[in-house]
A = this chain, B = another copy of it.
């Protein structure tokens, strides 16, 4: 299986191969890596089942309260707890610094590369070498696009796309391997720079979020062993809970760096990215984004001296519309309501089309790296042709006399592009197309320039950008969704503003902001975070009530049609995302209904051979441990033992010939840290064990590593209630116990998979009808 085949597509539900896995046993966590290990060659790194399924591992936020943990807790000193706390904040600081620096690097690089490209094109245009100008423009785009695609296709396929859905899934408890790997981080940073510079209708916001999460993960993993970047003192963070918190900070830092919106970043993490939230985390996230804000500010001050090349006002978007006076009356509100409604429809249509395009692209992308790059090249060519060709449709407009900026502008950015127009005239479409996306948005959002753009030009640009945005997402290039949506939305808003000039007195620049809000609300379906991000972007608080109104309307309208774009992509990628609420049909089922298949249990003191057999033949990640006479009066659920802990224990080889407790020796020989969770895919594997035949008949005491108090539900609890418990506590395994005594003490284990609609509705298809 070639590396090129490693499309990051996790369709387990659309995939028969994955269904085979299910039949292994119902309490199995089917997405876990160890299971998949069995099904492929023993090479390390990314594993794919059926050519298009990435290994997915559930995360476990439950504290495994076994004896080792208790011993460790009892012996923990105050200074260690303090160190740990300090480390948490230090890590947040590093994540903030790192993300801020990447944000700065990204902006400086994009502004310089794209600036060089545009400058070259403009110069050739001025000399009327139109054909050469196109070749230069399209050639630059093509080169940059191909480089980005090559990075993505050959080094880290997981770096393609926005990354926000994957981060969202990770924070929900689904770890798709390699999604936060160092190679992904590398490709995400450089691929994003290349992709944005290549003139694609893509943003750097999604990639920045992903980058922030990757940086956080890198630190939280205890470095990367592959690249020899590990530090001993990072081991404190070797658990899923602390990693989750850190990655939440990283996601927030990403938004903060992308939009220069620190509060918006916190709210984004809270509203969209995170599935669990605590007040303490709010504060840490806030700290991280504050660091990002400080880093950005320091560098902008540094760059203001001109030492960053072409990096000027264009980088680090901040669209100041505060110059426009915000006063509105009833007709304005009516116009805004209409704007929001149509924006919502357009937004949901956007989601629908993105979904269709993604499905088509995944077929192409699955064929290999060559096809991926070919797709990128085609889209790049299409984009270049649109950007360079469409401005020819526009008529030259005489420069306004009352503006302070130069017109026509022959600089890198700016409002009034000369293009093919004679001196004293400008081409309004070229001002939008032949600019970086950031500058195009700035032009659309500019206030007090009502007639700068022809209505027909706005129509053309809107159509082009809306379509390009849809067909660009999904190609093998890091691509954010925010900028395309803002671009299309701002154009739409300005268009509506122009059409409504007779009714509404609101500035067209403000209409553009509201249009962007309506599109964002219609696609992303966020509320408070978008509101704050837009406020921080446009620096106009007085616009707040209108932005709120538009967001509420467009989200409400769009929710009628489909789900938010990120939820849709998560679903499309087959990531088993747990919703916060239980589905209505779950109230008709009980926990027992979705538990089935053979349950593998261990005795408190179990034969090594039995354990090894279970580990080899199943993919289960948790095994119930049952104490039986003579170790207890009646069979009793002792607890749950984790696969990873079993592997460590077996590797330690503290076996005995007889069935006798050996807890003390284990407690003496092992420390809790030995069982700390390694980074993704780095733990001991069953193949790493070297158990000899004679050891197979020996016994090992599982009590010290058994989590003696797993969360349990009775078999008659409604599935809805069990789902809420599972999701609220961030579990990986939930034991189902029998209602009455006298039966085996455990009925089965519920995992994330068992709550997925596909699984439940597969078992009970008639419920779908009743629903």
Contact = CB atoms under 8 A, between A and B. Distances in A.
A740 interface: yes
B712 A716 contact: no
A721 B63 CA distance: 8
Interface string A20-36: 00000000000000000
Interface stretch (A127-135, A213-221, A580-588): A580-588
Given A286-B548, A294-B545, A581 B278 contact: yes
Contacts of A545: 262, 290, 293-294, 297
Interface in A505-560: 527-528, 531-532, 535-536, 539, 541-542, 544-545, 548-549, 552, 555
B714 A714 contact: no
Interface in A40-69: 63, 65
How many copies the complex holds: the figure is 2
B636 A739 contact: yes
A65 B580 contact: no
Interface string A705-724: 00011011110111001001
Contact of A636 (B74, B536, B587, B741): B741
Interface stretch (A263-271, A348-356, A450-458, A478-486): A263-271
A145 B283 CA distance: 39
Nearest to A73: B587
A729 interface: yes
A464 interface: no
Interface string A278-314: 1110110011011001100100000000000000000
A742 interface: yes
B718 A282 contact: no
Interface string A562-597: 000000000000000000110010011010000000
Contacts of A741: 633-636, 741-742, 745
Interface string A70-97: 1001100000010000000000000000
A600 to B, nearest CB: 21
Given A545-B293, A552-B290, A741-B745, A528 B721 contact: no
Contacts of A590: 709
A165 to B, nearest CB: 16
Contacts of A293: 544-545, 548
A678 to B, nearest CB: 24
Most buried by B among A297, A627, A714: A714
A742 B541 contact: no
A277 interface: yes
B282 A528 contact: yes
B282 A65 contact: no
A280 B742 contact: no
B709 A725 contact: no
Interface in A153-209: none
A528 B266 contact: yes
B536 A541 contact: yes
A535 B527 CA distance: 18
B287 A552 contact: yes
A406 interface: no
Contacts of A532: 263, 532
B277 A277 contact: yes
A495 B729 CA distance: 48
Contact of A740 (B73, B634, B716, B717): B634
Contacts of A535: 263, 541
A283 B742 contact: no
A176 to B, nearest CB: 22
A293 B282 CA distance: 25
Nearest to A740: B636
B528 A286 contact: yes
Contact of A729 (B528, B548, B725): B725
Contacts of A539: 541-542
Interface string A633-652: 11111000000000000000
Contact of A716 (B262, B279, B708, B724): B708
A72 to B, nearest CB: 11
A289 B280 CA distance: 25
8 contacts: A263-B528, A263-B531, A286-B548, A297-B545, A634-B742, A711-B725, A725-B729, A741-B741
Which 5 A-B pairs have CB atoms at the shortest separation, nearest pair first? A709-B717, A634-B741, A290-B548, A636-B740, A293-B545
